[in-house]
Structure 1
Amino acid sequence: MAENLANFPSLGSPGTSLSGPDSHLSLGELDPDFVHDADRARFNCPVCKRTLRDSRQTQCGHRLCNRCVDVWLDGALAKRCPVGEADCDDVTKTNVFPDRSIQREMKSVLVFCKNKDEGCQFQIKLKDFKNHLDDCEYEPVNCEHSGRGCKEKLVRKKLKDHVGKCPFRPVRCSLCKEEVCHNDMQKHENELCPEQTVKCPFGCPIASLKRKDIQSHRDVCSVHPVDCKYKPMGCTFAAKRELVEKHEKEDLAQHLELITRHVTDLELKSMDTQAQIRNISQERDLTQQSLQSLPPRNADVQGAVHQMETQIRDFRLKLVSMMEKVIIVERKVPDLVDRARVDTVDQTVVALQQRIAQLEQQREREQQQPTQSGSGSSTVGGSSRVARYGTVDNMAETLSTQLTAHDRQLGVHDVRMAEMDLRFQLLETASYDGTLVWKIRDYERRKRDAVNGRTLSLYSQPFYTGRFGYKMCARVYLNGDGMGKTTHMSLFFVIMRGEYDALLNWPFRQKVTLTLLDQSAEKRHLTDHFQPDPNSSSFQRPTSEMNVASGCPLFVSHAVVDNPSNGYLRDDTIFIRIVVDLNPNPQNF
């Protein structure tokens, strides 16, 4: 019998119901304590030694739990009844039947509450056993703030007193009116509350600064170090705002040299790209020649030919990608300052600076000469060299205006080159296989911005299902959106307007899989997916830059992401992966 019961403990594991579909009693893991010993013996299963569950009667009149029949037989066709009396019969799966009578009797049998040892004195009918536990004052229950982090478990009658003192109870901040846990209020006031008055983090004398205004204060702070506007070109100067403005005006020659180097680098990149295109074209020609020299196809060479055709398609895609980069460079470089124009501007600026210095010296000498009385005129305006401008001051003002115009022109070139760098970055990181791996740095700061309402959501770089396929991106709300606001990270999928939409099938029907990647060795990635609704406007052909986002408002809870024992947040960085199923093929035009 010990061998037959080897697998039985699993039947009484927590959360397992032993009641079958025909039973009116659902005792689960509970084994009630009968008031009368006679009832305990009468309703006891001889196999599991527990209260009968979904009872079955044998031909010899004994009763077993429905699942205990299988445990007892243990694969055998028939065994002697486990009671072992002289008149017992063999038990098979076909000669036992449901005992409705005993099930009805059990409903009215009196049992003790399972919390009798804790103080509950109730005696209830077995049919009301579970309903009583839902109201029993001695039943252990979780704190109602368990969702906020409370791990306390106490009897129901003490719950009310605990809730009023629970450290995880919600309280409202008196400044920003946000609801936070009581034990987090001090941290909220010291680090997070947007309405809290703080000192300038850069050390300026302003004392009445609110935390939510720090970002906007950064732009006007008198002591906050700022970068030179030519930093994208390679200038490393950073200082107080007034010193940076002086530097930008005085070091024009250095900045022009940096711009020249940057444009030269772009030209070199263009030359390298063209060289790569030539190499790919040569490889393509060699491949085509190899294909032409092959004998007629047969079963042995079809696989090799198919592989070479695949390589040709890959070469063509690379060729198109390189051509796009070359076209962008050739369009942008003529609009930027070329080397000849930079040299000309450089020489002009140096000449103007020298001329201004000479005029300043001339004016100082003329001002030192005594004014001739009675002549009705002064020597200051008498020089023929300034007749064109009227006065030296006017000449200096005119030249200063010309310098300002040159400075403004350089600023325009700076903006254009920054735009070009951004385009190159997008091209270099673009994915054309329907998969996006999105790296989000500075997670804590970005989430804080979302909580404070400064930046509610972030957009990823675009990705594509193919070189001429659908254009898509991802959108994440780090502090949640809709049902997930303040409790979850919300992740959405967005269809964008692409250049080849007219050739694609609409609505968009590809399966989309959203994944938060685990950076630890366990790789317990969190994944969700959905099939697009063809009737939703989110998956129709875009008529604006992008459609309405669709996805998972309750993608992952903050407690899971922010928990340091999990591997989803490492080095203040998270990784999100979006995978679009490419079947059916979206490019079947």
Structure 2
Amino acid sequence: MLNCPFMKCEVSVARSQIKKHAKKCKYRPFNCPHCGHKGVYIEVVEIHYQNCTEYPVACPKNCSTKIKRSELQCHVDMACPNTMVCCPFLDLGCKAKTKRSELKKHIDSNAGQHRFLVSSTISELRKENKSQKESQSNLLGATGLLESKVSTLENKCSKLEGDLFSMLHIHEENEAKRSKAVAELGEKNTILESSLSTLSSQYAKLKNNLSATCKENKQLKGTLSVLELKCTSLQTQFGKLKSQMTNATQQVTAKENKMKKLYDNCVAKMTAIEEQITSTIPHANVDKGEYSDDSYLSNCYRKLENSLQAVEEENTELKASLSVLGRKYWNLEKMLSDLQDHVCNSDQEVTSAKQNLLHLLQQFETQAVGPPPQQQQNRNNDYWIHDYRLIAETMKKHNWTLYLKTMAETSTQFPEPVSPVIMKVEGYVKANNSTLFTSHFFTSGSGKYKFQLAISVSYDKTAVPYMSVYARLLKGEYDSSLSWPFVGSIYVTLLNQADNTDHYRMSIWLLESGASFEGGGRVRSGQDNSLLYGQPYFISHYELETTKQYVMNNSLYFNVEATAATKAKNSKDCILS
């Protein structure tokens, strides 16, 4: 038994059968008879024959023809008699399809139809040729017209070239001017940059001055509080000393009257005694109150002199104590006057520091921005007010009184104070039946409506124990662009002047209230609406004057929040003034 001589074959056969097996072994060397590909028998037969381009295959159209695999597609497209082909007169309109072997029969059997298609196609081609000739003649005419237009355009082009050269010359001159202007602007920009750096340093200094001013305000606030306490204690002492001095003066006057009566009684008694002595003892010698014959009278006279001397000494002591009280009264009055002057000077220093700060801020705004154009004046005013309020907010944390004064000035310093604003009302008198009006202000929200507040102080506190607050529409600059009647809300807060707590807030005009139609009409005649709308019982006089420090230095402070709505409801019911 021997192994097969071919590598992949694992069969063992007898030596006598080895040659016969080698001729039929599937792993024997074998070349493709069609293309000459070399390999083993099983690989060539089972794998290579499936992809061999020279291997003969049958026609897929069943025409009983075997042809090389590489030429099969060409045979099917060009020579196979069973392939379906279109009629050669397809472009003329015949859409029939038939086998290639029957194509001649189809042409012969449909010769008349094909001739008709050829003749109709020829007639269409003649018509098309004629139309193309007409189009060509039209194009020739149009070409002549275009040539004339081209000549005209050439003339215009030459003229435009001349104009272009002149424009280029002007452009060169303008370019030179522009370069010069750019150079000048560069110099100005350099100057502005230096100015900006200077302004930045000034702004830093202003910040430092502001912080220093805040510290000074804090110190001044502490000093003022101490001085106010001292003034209060001195006023209390002054009142006590004044009452003591009044009592002492009354006591001195009573004792002087008593002493005068006693002296008059003594004089009368002495006169009566002298008359009695003269009448009873005609020869008695009376000299300076000493009686030679009667010791009783002498003792009486001596007692009278002692009592008179005691009264005079008591009177002297009373006069001395009265003089001491007068000196103390004068010293206290001088100390009180000095303290009042010191408080006034401190208040003036705070006001001066605030004015200096405002002046520096105005100077900074003027230098940094420059005078704005007229159309941007209102916008810049809004920015100025916003910055002013930001500065005031820093004061709010350190000095509430100074903050109120500063914010109240914005309602009079700027032409268009927009809500929310702080209003100061001066002239509050407890027993005065009058109406006080604030400066004007504008609403925020959808539109600037012009308003002012009216504060009514009742004369008879027992009959009407309340202070009233009303709102009144004024003729404004934006009335023509607003919707009428006014619909919105106005809230008024009475501010506690001593501290930023315990404020009194109330609505005087609400969005859905009837005031929108009664007092919210547009002012067409005069400067203000004759109708006032608000709260007649805003705050009681007892709470106003006793519980909190709402009234100080005969003044009140109000915070006003006025907002306009988008559109009025039932505008046909509006009562116009």
Where relative contact order (Cα < 8 A, 6+ residues apart) is larger, the structure is 2
TM-score (norm 1): 0.26
TM-score (norm 2): 0.27
Larger radius of gyration: 2
User: Greater helix percent: which structure?
Assistant: 2
